[in-house]
Amino acid sequence: MIKQFFLFALAMVFSASLAGAAGLPNSITGRDGEEMMLIPAGIFTMGSPDYVEGKFGFKPHKVYTDAFYMDKYEVTNGQFARFLNHLAATGHKKDIWDFVVTRSDLQTADRKDWWPTEIILEGGNYKPFPSFERYPVISVSWFAAYDYCKWAGERLPTEAEWEKAARGGLEGKIYPWGNEIPTGGVIFSRSWTDNSVPAPVEQVGNYFPNGYGLYDMAGNVWEFCSDWYDENYYEHSPQNNPKGPEKGQLKVARGGSWYNSALFLRVDYRNTADPYATDDAVGFRCAKDAGENK
């Protein structure tokens, strides 16, 4: 099955390449040095393929998105440490503690039981915990994710963009790879009982890419979207490029994480996150309008 999936993924990436042949490259390098993959313009079916009114999921409906680029991988500790050093060097006024829980923070009494990211402050510089540069950053707030993307000349994806990207060109499927229950290689259903040891995530790019060449769109860490959350938003949302409610209290997070069961890894599963919280299972990746690269 793995071989068949891999060949299918390659075919889907090739299809995405054809979509970009009209003038958009299939991939670009972001300002932060990371590769971004083209998600072509077009209509897809957003929502739960096994939707049951009043019982499960949210109603399938057609959504159009303009072409955009999405980070190939989740933002890593190495990338985020460079961002923190930029903030420190430019005299950023906001307390960095509001952005991320570093391992250095655990030395303080009020944070000794918190769950940190694998970033440390040493000699005045932020840097990844040894050997964890390519692991996804966690325990990071939505505002920090927003500011990182802005620093990189990018933005957080909308919820509709995230689901389209996660589906990788597949229609009516439960996971980014199809309907099969997750197997070895997908990071989920793990536990973390001692914050003195690293979080039970894996390096980005741990499993096969989906049809758009994106890795880890299910499991590893939840990913922030730009949207405010409204349970009923998609009952009346615009068909073209929906951006979520204008206001709210919680942000949308998608994709499931290292501690969730398979249910939460579904491409249609909607979760919420406090934008001020620094959750040990939430990270992010950035998006960018394709029109900015014409």
Q: Where are the domains of the chain?
A: 2-74+150-293
**E-state strands within 25-166:** 27-29, 35-39, 42-46, 61-65, 68-71, 119-122, 125-128
Distances (CA, A) of 259 to 2, 175, 187: 24, 17, 8
- Rounded Cα distance between 248 and 197, Å, is 35
Tell me the per-residue pLDDT of 26-67, one tens digit each, with 9 for 90 and over: 999 999 999 999 999 999 999 998 887 766 788 999 999 999
Closest CA to 244 of 162, 147, 122: 162
> 247-294: per-residue pLDDT in tens?
999 999 999 999 999 999 999 999 999 999 999 999 999 999 998 654
For strands 222-228 and 282-283, give the pairing: parallel
HSE of 16 in the Cβ direction (CA atoms, 13 Å)?
30
Q: How far apart are CA 84 and CA 75, in angstroms?
A: 13
What percent of the chain lies above the pLDDT cut of 90? 77
Confidence at 111, pLDDT banded by 50, 70, 90: confident
Rg (CA), the chain: 18
Hey, which CATH number is domain 2-74+150-293, 3.90.1150.10, 3.20.20.70, 3.90.1580.10, 3.40.50.150? 3.90.1580.10
Q: How confident is the model at residue 13 (pLDDT cuts 50, 70, 90)?
A: very low
The neighbour count for residue 110, using CB atoms within 10 Å, is 8
Q: What is the pLDDT of residue 290?
A: 96
Output the pLDDT for position 52: 79
pLDDT tens, residue by residue, 188-215: 999 999 999 999 999 999 888 999 999 9
Given this model, what pLDDT does residue 50 score? 86
